[in-house]
Amino acid sequence: MVALSLMSVWGLLCLCTTVHGMGSNIDILAQTAINLPGTLSCGVNWGCDCAFRQKDCCCGAKQFTALEDSIYTRLVAFRMELHDVEMQTEALTKNTHIAFSASMAARSGSFGPFTTNVPIPYTLIATNDGNGYNPALGIFTAPRAGVYSFAYTVYSSVGTTGARLYHNIQLMLNGEVVASTWEDNREDTEDSGSQVVVLQMRRGCQVYMEMVSGRSLAGNTRNAYNHFSGYLVYPDDED
């Protein structure tokens, strides 16, 4: 029955090409298609022209709907996975922007000597990300556990030939000496030295530079000649 009806529609369509009054013939064609019993076969690869038969002319509708649902489901799953990655990344990188850089201010006289060991005040702050460095005390306190890198430069100038260069600077971790730079001679009028150390630290550990008693830094008349800096290389999971 369906086949006969389709042949009737085809014959009517061919007839319409030779008859004037195309508008009325299209109306007849449309009504014939609407009244066609049954459904169109999906095996003939219809072009999905739904002008006349809205219910069954698009034979791939179910497949397209299933594909759309599958894509949507995958997008939702992907978004959830991306959210999990973002949360993990935030947890790993939280409080990891930790770095400081500071130098001693220029002075007309020497720093020291003192009768006891004293922390060196590096009060000119260039960077203090994470606010771990306290310029009033000259102490860096680790905001979180991790591996840190510290560097310092010591400079001293007596300005007079034959005068004694006599300084001893120590990098301290929780009150213990980690590295030191010293000079004790009369051959040089000025001298400098630098050190770089990498330290494993827990949150709350403190690092600072210390002047040994009886020693002094002379002639620090230019900014940044005596410098102290540090930064977090990578965090630990301890926190």
Cβ atoms < 10 Å from Cβ of 235: 20
pTM for the structure as a whole: 0.61
Residue 225, classed as helix, strand or coil, is coil
As given in the structure block, the two tokens for residue 58 are: 């698009």
CA distance 219 to 225: 10
Amino acid symbol at 3: A
The total of structural domains in the chain comes to 2
State whether 114 and 227 are in the same domain.
Answer: yes
State whether 224 and 124 are in the same domain.
Answer: yes
**Is the bond into 121 cis (omega within 30 degrees of 0)?**
no
Rounded to 5 degrees, what angle do the CA atoms 52, 57, 61 make?
A: 135
Residue 70, classed as helix, strand or coil, is helix
Q: What does each of the 239 residues of the chain score in pLDDT, given as a tens digit?
A: 444 444 444 454 444 444 445 556 667 666 666 666 665 555 544 444 554 444 455 555 666 677 788 888 888 888 888 877 877 766 666 667 899 999 998 877 788 899 999 999 899 999 999 999 999 999 999 999 999 999 999 998 888 888 888 889 999 999 999 999 988 888 888 888 999 999 999 999 999 999 999 998 887 766 678 999 999 999 887 65
State whether 54 and 108 are in the same domain.
Answer: no
Q: Which residue has the tokens 């007849």?
A: 28
Q: Is residue 226 part of a domain?
A: yes
Measured distance between the N- and C-terminal CA atoms of the chain, rounded to whole angstroms: 78
**Domain range for residue 124?**
99-235
We report the CATH number of the domain holding residue 161 as 2.60.120.40
Query: Last residue of a domain, which of 10, 40, 59?
Result: 59
State whether 119 and 224 are in the same domain.
Answer: yes
Rounded to 5 degrees, what angle do the CA atoms 186, 187, 190 make?
A: 85
State whether 105 and 173 are in the same domain.
Answer: yes
Residue 8, classed as helix, strand or coil, is helix
State whether 147 and 210 are in the same domain.
Answer: yes
Q: Is residue 86 part of a domain?
A: no
State whether 46 and 105 are in the same domain.
Answer: no
